[in-house]
Amino acid sequence: MEKQLDYDSVTNKLSQHGVIVDGAEIHGILCGMLCGGMSLTDQKWLEALSETVNQDESFSEPVVFTLTTLFNQTCQQLLEPEFALTLLLPEDHAPINDRGAALINWVQGFMLGFGLHQQDLVKCSDDVKEALEDFSDISRMEEPMDADEESEKALFEVEEYVKISAILCFSELGQSLLDDQKEKPSIH
């Protein structure tokens, strides 16, 4: 079992190679694409990422390696039955505002990735629509938080909510690996 990537290692790898987003946003975009219905075997996600976060430049080898590992990890987590998705965020001992900012980046990334694959919200359930509205609110949160227990609890609750909402979107719109096996005409 390979070691799960963490926020710092992904963020550092990106910044070493001139990619100006953090690990949270990249992970959010990947989750958004998958939860919005992108096929798990779709290889175009890397292109979509380079367009959205890297001025359409291709990524360097080490970044591609890291992103591929992250993508595979994310797919595995989403396919596991027990809410195994872990948001790529700073460690719990990082300053609360760093964690809050990363969560906002994650949610913004998710909405971006989701929008690339799911323009038609009419077909989505009310739960998914509500989750996306909430994500939109979360992505606009700005006020700094106090490093106290109340803020910690609030941040934890928002994180849990985001995680469960992402899983909800995936279970409704995401492709299972079985869907990928079926021959279906692709619609472009």
Residue 164 has pLDDT above 50, yes or no: yes
In a domain? residue 188: no
Residue 106 has pLDDT above 60, yes or no: yes
Q: What is the mean pLDDT of the chain?
A: 89
Q: What is the DSSP letter of 54?
A: S
The C-alpha atoms of residue 138 and residue 132 are separated, in whole angstroms, by: 10
Angle at 118 (CA atoms; ends 89, 55), nearest 5 degrees: 60
- pLDDT value at position 180? 54
In a domain? residue 78: yes
- pLDDT value at position 23? 97
In a domain? residue 185: no
In a domain? residue 77: yes
What DSSP assignment string belongs to 92-148? TTS-HHHHHHHHHHHHHHHHHHHHHH---GGGS-HHHHHHHHHHHHHHT--SPPPSS
- pLDDT value at position 122? 80
In a domain? residue 182: no
- pLDDT value at position 178? 60
Least confident of 33-42, 71-80, 118-127, 172-181: 172-181
Q: What is the pTM of this model?
A: 0.90
In a domain? residue 187: no
In a domain? residue 173: yes
In a domain? residue 21: yes
CATH number for the domain that contains residue 128: 1.20.120.740
Q: Residue 140 is encoded by which pair of tokens? A: 């606009």
Band (185; pLDDT cuts 50, 70, 90): very low
Full residue range of the structural domain in which residue 159 is found: 7-177
- Number of domains the chain contains: 1
List pLDDT tens digits, range 72-96.
999 999 988 777 899 999 999 999 9
